[in-house]
Structure formats: structure tokens, C-alpha cells
Amino acid sequence: MSTTSKPTSSEDIVGRKYDQCLADLILKTGIGFGAGVVASVILFRRRTWPIALTTGFGAGIAYADCDRSFNPARLSGYRVIPQSEAPPSK
């Protein structure tokens, strides 16, 4: 029995990232919408702005997470060191 696996193509990696981003967007937007409905009914006498606000927060957080998955160099506290400046590996 062989334990070698075939290499993953870059198209598959990008496709999986897009699928993860879409699932994350649906989940976080839905949670924001639900929290907005609850806040609207309980705290704000059935106004619509809490629903729009929390749905937007959920979508914004999902967008930021997706942006980080496609460009990890944008993480705060990290910097990309060019290969010429990298210390030699042992």
C-alpha cells in the first residue's frame, strides 16, 4: 500500500479558499442578522437599523477573514523578509 499522495494543484487550493470564504460569509452574516433581529425586538422597539448594522458587521468580519486567508502578509505584527535577507537555515 502506497502512502504517497498526489500534489494539490493551485487551482484546488484557491477553490477551497473561495469555498471557505463563502461558507464563512453565509455563517457570519446569518449570525449578525439573527443578533440584529433579537436586538431589534428586545432593545430597540422593532427598529430596522440594528438588523442592518449587525448584518454588515458579520459580512465585514467575514471579508476581513477571507482577505487574511488570501494574503497572510497583511497580518498585523508580521513582516515578510526577502529571501536575500533571510538567515541561513540549518
Q: What is the DSSP string of 13-25?
A: HHHHHHHHHHHHH
Nearest alpha-carbon partner for 31 in 48, 49, 56: 56
| 26-74 pLDDT tens trace | 999 999 999 999 999 999 998 999 999 999 999 999 999 999 888 877 7
Name the one residue in this structure whose C-alpha cell is 536575500: 84
Choice between 24 and 13, residue whose per-residue pLDDT is larger:
24
Torsion over CA of 7, 12, 14 and 16, rounded to 10 degrees? Answer: -110
Query: What is the pLDDT, as a whole number, of residue 40?
Result: 95
Query: What is the pLDDT, as a whole number, of residue 3?
Result: 66
Cell numbers of 64, please? 476581513
- Residue spans per domain, the chain: 26-71
Q: Is the pLDDT of residue 2 over 60?
A: no
pTM (two decimals): 0.73
